[in-house]
Amino acid sequence: MAIQEQRLIFKHLDEPGYSNDIDCYLRHGGYEQLKQAVTMKPEDICAEVMDSGVRGRGGAGFPAGMKWKFLDRKSGKPIYLVCNADESEPGTFKDRQIIHKDPHQLIEGMMCSAYAIQAKLAFIYIRGEFFQGYRILERAIEEAREKNLLGENILGSGYSCDIIVHRGAGAYICGEETGLIESLEGFRANPRIKPPYFPAALGLYQCPTIVNNVETLCDVKHIIEMGGKEFAKIGTPGNSGTRIWCVSGHVQKPGYYEFPCAAITLGQLIYDVCGGLKPGRKLKAVIPGGSSSKILRADERFTGKLKNGTDFDWGIEDIPMDFDSLMAVGSMSGSGGVIVMDDSTDMVEALANINYFYAHESCGQCTPCREGVPWMRKITQRMIEGNAREEDADLLNSIADQIAGRTICAFGEAASWPVQSFIAKFKDEFVEKAREQAARRKAGELAAKETTLI
C-alpha cells in the first residue's frame, strides 16, 4: 500500500494552481513568519533554532543552532549569510525544486535567518547550470523588495538586509562551503584550511559568515511558525524535522518525497513510496545519501548500538530513514540522494561512473586528491575496457585509504568512501571481472590492450 507523504517544505509545491509568484505565496500565509521574526529579539530566534535541533540538510548534518552559536559576534566585522544552492552532489535534486516552485519560501527563511544572526547582507550561491532557477530567484527577490520584505528598513523594523544571487560556473567543489566563499569573492574555488577558516569566524571577506543549505534555511521559517520545541517533535530526538529524499535509479517511481525523519524505513521508501523495483528485478544495493555516501548491500545484516544506546539488528529494508540510523549502519543521510541499484547493476561500471565524476571535480590543491582520485578513475576505466587486473581491487582500496583524512577538505573523503565501500562490499565482483577478462584475453576473445594509464 502506498504510504502518504507528510510534507512541510514541499507542502504547496505540487498543489494545482500554486505558482512561484509573490501574490500566491502571500495568499498561502507567506511572509507571516518574517513579520513575526522582526518583532522578536534576534537571540530568541537563535534559541528557537537551537531548541528545534534542526541539522543541516546540505550533507554533514551539523546542527544549525550550534553553527549559529559559533558565530564570532565580538569581532565588530559585518556578518554575512550565504545560502548554498550549488546542489552538486550526484543523486540530489531537491533544492532546485524549492527554487523553481517556491522561491519565496527560501527568501522568507533566509530573511528570518539573516535577522536572527543580524547579517548585513545575504547571498544565494546558485549552481551555474541552474539558469532558470537564477532568473526565478531574481524575479522573486525583486517582488519581495517592492513589498519591503527585504532591503532597507524591512517592514519598518529598522533592520536592513538585501539578498544577492551569485551564479557559480558549475563545479562540485563550489558546494564545499569554503570553496564557495572563495568563489563568491571572485577567486578559483579552492577550499580553505580549517582551522583557521571556519566560516563562522573567518568566512566571506574574512568576516563571520553562516553558510546553510537551501532546505535548512527553509526549515527556519517553519521553526518560527511552530516554535523550536514543537518542530523538534517532528521526527525523533536528534533527528528532528522532515527530510526530502531524492530517489533515483532502478525504482518504478523515482522522484522527491518528504517525510518526517525516521517516519519510514528504506524498504518502505523503495517499495511503498517509489512503487518497488522494475518487474523481475531484485534489490542489489543502495547509496543512501548522495554519491559520496557509503554503499549498502541488500543482503547485509546491520547490527550495533544507536547513539541513544538502543541495540539494532536490521536488514537493509528495516533501516529507518534518519541521520543517526544511516550513520549507525556505516553510511550517512548526506544530501538525501537515495540511489537504488537492482541486480542488473555492474558494480565495477557503477564505481567507474562515480570515479569519473570525482576525478573531474578535484580542485587540485592537495597531492593525494589531485593525483589519487584520477588514478582511481583510470583503474576503474581500464577495468571496464577489458584490462582489469586481479590486484586492482586492493590497489583501489589502498589509494582511497591514502586520500581519506589527508586533504584540505572533505572532498578527499567524498571521493574515497565510494571506492572503499564498493571494494569492502563487492570485492568479489571486481576480482571476478579481472579473472573473466584474463580468461577471455587468453582465449583470444578480448584484445589485450596496451595501457598507458598507470
Q: Which long-range contacts (CB under 8 A, 24 or more apart) does 344-349 make?
A: 344/250, 344/281, 345/250, 345/284, 345/285, 346/384, 346/429, 347/285, 347/422, 347/426, 347/429, 347/430, 348/380, 348/383, 348/384, 348/388, 348/429, 348/430, 348/433, 349/384
440 binds ligand SF4 (CB under 6 A): no
Binding characters for ligand FMN, 73-112, by CB under 6 A (x = yes): -----------x-xxxx-----------------------
Rounded to a whole number of angstroms, the minimum distance from the CB of residue 125 to ligand FMN is 9
198 to 237, contacts with ligand FMN by CB under 6 A? 211-213, 216
Interface residue with ligand SF4, options 122, 246, 354, 409 (CB under 6 A): 409
Binding characters for ligand SF4, 176-215, by CB under 6 A (x = yes): ---------------x------------------------
Q: Which residues face 437 on adjacent strands?
A: none
Binding characters for ligand FMN, 411-430, by CB under 6 A (x = yes): x--x----------------
176 binds ligand FMN (CB under 6 A): yes
Distances (CA, A) of 50 to 15, 40, 159, 220: 31, 15, 22, 11
Q: Which is nearer to ligand FMN, 58 or 289 (CB)?
A: 58
Binding characters for ligand SF4, 326-365, by CB under 6 A (x = yes): ------------------------------------xxxx
Q: Please report the sign of the dihedral spanned by the C-alpha atoms of residue 7, residue 11, residue 15, residue 20.
A: negative
Residue with cell 562551503: 177
Q: Which is nearer to ligand SF4, 118 or 402 (CB)?
A: 402
Rounded to a whole number of angstroms, the minimum distance from the CB of residue 89 to ligand FMN is 6
365 binds, among ligand SF4, ligand FMN, none (CB under 5 to 8 A by kind): ligand SF4
Rounded Cα–Cα distance for residues 291 and 257 (Å)? 18
Q: Which is nearer to ligand FMN, 265 or 335 (CB)?
A: 335
By CB under 6 A, name the binding residues for ligand FMN: 56-60, 62, 84, 86-89, 172-173, 175-177, 211-213, 216, 409-411, 414
Instruction: Give the binding site for ligand SF4 (CB under 6 A).
Output: 173, 191, 362-366, 369-370, 407-409, 411-412
